[in-house]
Amino acid sequence: MTPMPHRVEPARHSELYWMLSDSWVLTRRSIKHITRNLDQLLSLIIMPVMFLLLFRYVFGGAIDTGGTTYVNFLVAGILVQTLAFGSSNTTVNLVLDLRRGIIDRFRSLPMYSSSLLTGHVLADLFRNTISGLIMVAAGLAVGFRPTADAGEWLKVLGLLLLFTFAVSWFCAILGLVVRSLEAAQWISFIFIMPLTFASSAFVPTGGMPAALRVFAENQPFTIVIQAMRAWLVGTPIGNDGWLSVVWCAGITVVCMPIAAWLFRRQARFPAL
């Protein structure tokens, strides 16, 4: 990539430096929006905890999870659901930026066009890390008893960040194809809700109809959930550990360039 023509670049700074610098500035901007927006802060806490309590106390007694307690089975699924829905904030925030005219200001500045996208995605990492910590604490309060050692907790954290990064880039594409804020608020649910419920998040896949079971056992949400569950409570992991990394990396590699191209097209940034 080459810098935009009107940037005066000191010889000691590389193109990578400017790209990282621009991305960091816009990441801080997005994080400030999170910390100053009460609605976003409440959504980090209320909705995930409500789902946890609902499944833990309303449905948990009717679901047989085999050799592990339902709450230990549940927490990994709720955690992945929380991350996925948290990443959908990228969709809404991108539409807000495109509709409020701030892009016109950014286009007049010597900055990399992809930095705005990167800023939103990295802010999602910050938001979802907070959500993840809250969910683990809430799980412990309702009976979750992980067996993970320090290394396994690091694996869970790494997969949490990688999964958020991948889903956020997918949500960035959704934010760039819709035309209104109203559409941005529901379009993510069309994709995330079926992938969450048609998975092993809340029930074992063994009781599902054959066709649905095949889909559920081989889609990325289930693989990520089962990897996290294995590291957290010691269930069998099989190939889910490395497959979860492959799925997240593949989604990221596909979605990043598509989102960057759509953004340059919509915002009329010059190609860098």
Dist. CA 187–CA 178, nearest whole Å: 8
Domain ranges of the chain: 15-267
Instruction: Out of 103-107, 115-119, 189-193, 215-219, give the one with best mean pLDDT.
Output: 215-219
Q: pLDDT over 70 for what percent of the chain? A: 78
> Is 111 in contact with 4 (CB distance < 8 Å)?
yes
Spatial separation of the C-alpha atoms in residues 202 and 74, rounded to whole Å: 6
- Cα–Cα distance for residue pair 209/92, rounded to 1 Å: 35
Mean pLDDT of 56-76: 82
Question: Given this model, what pLDDT does residue 244 score?
Answer: 94
Question: Side-chain half-sphere of 157: how many Cα atoms within 13 Å?
Answer: 11
Cα–Cα dist 82/104, whole Å: 33
Q: In the structure, what pLDDT confidence band is assigned to residue 8 with cuts at 50, 70 and 90?
A: very low
DSSP string for 57-111: IIIGGG---TTS-HHHHHHHHHHHHHHHHHHTHHHHHHHHHHHHTHHHHHHTSS-
Whole-angstrom Cα distance, residue 71 to residue 52?
9
Q: For residue 12, is pLDDT > 60? A: no
Q: How do residues 81-127 score in pLDDT, each as one tens digit?
A: 988 888 888 888 788 777 776 776 766 666 666 777 788 788 878 88
What is the signed CA dihedral for 228, 124, 250, 233, rounded to 10 degrees? Answer: 0
Q: How many CA atoms lie within 13 A of 124 on its CB side?
A: 32
Query: What six digits make up the tokens of 261?
Result: 């191209």
How far is residue 57 from each of residues 50, 107, 201, measured CA to CA in Å? 11, 51, 16
Other CB atoms within a 10 A radius of the CB of residue 21 amount to 14
A 10 A CB-CB count for 25 gives 12
Other CB atoms within 10 A of residue 31 CB: 16
Residues 254, 142: Cα–Cα separation, whole Å: 39
pLDDT bin (cut points 50, 70, 90) of residue 9 is: very low
pLDDT at 46 over 70: yes
